[in-house]
Structure 1
Amino acid sequence: MSEVRNSEAPVSTVTYNRNEIDKPTENIYEAISVIAKRANQINAEIKKELIEKLEEFATYTDSLEEIFENKEQIEVSKFYEKLPKPHAIAIEEWLNDKIYYRNTEKEG
C-alpha cells in the first residue's frame, strides 16, 4: 500500500499518448483491460485499508469523546480522498513497467 501513497500519479485528469499506452501489448483494448484489472486491485486495497482504519474509531456509546474521534475519522477520510484515483495509479504503473502481465492465448 505504501506504493499507492508514494505514487506520482496525477490527481487530476491527464491526456495520455495512445501509442505509449498500447506499446507493450500492441493492442489498446488489451492494454486497457490490464490497466482496468490493476485499477480494481488498487481500489480494493485502498478500500480495505480505509475500512480497517475507520473501524479503529468505531464507538458504540454516545459521549463527548465521540466528537474528537469524529474529527480524527474525518482526517483519515480526507487523506484517502486526496490520493490519486486507482485508474491513475494503474496507468502510471503501466507506463513505468511496474505491472506484470501475460497473454495466455499467445503462450500455447
Structure 2
Amino acid sequence: MTTRLSDGNTRLPVCDILPVFLRDSEDHLRIQIRAEITREMLAARSGAVLEFWTDGETWLERLWTLVLLGDYASVYLAFLNQEDPSQIDAIEGLKNRLKESA
C-alpha cells in the first residue's frame, strides 16, 4: 500500500481535518471523478488530503485491504475522540453535493 499527500509534501499539515482517501488504480472512471471532486472540496478546507493507494494481486485482495483499513481507522479515531462512529451528517451532505454534479 502506498501513501501520499495530495499537495506533494511529506509532512502532515496542521489543520482541523485531514481527509483520508482509500484508492485503487482500477477504480471505475465515475468513481475516480467523484473521488477527485470530493478531494478538491476537502483539500480547499484542510490544505491537504491523505491518500492510501492499495496494491495486491487480485481485486478482492485490494478491496478487503481498503475496507478493513477504513473501518478500523474510522472506529478507532471515533473512540479516541469520544465520538459516535455511526454519526453520518457529513456523509449525507457529501452525497447531496455529488448528486448535484451528476
TM-score normalised over the length of structure 1: 0.29
**Higher fraction of strand:** 2
Larger Rg: 1
Higher normalized helix content (fraction of residues): 1
**Higher RCO, 1 vs 2 (CA within 8 Å, ≥6 residues apart):** 1
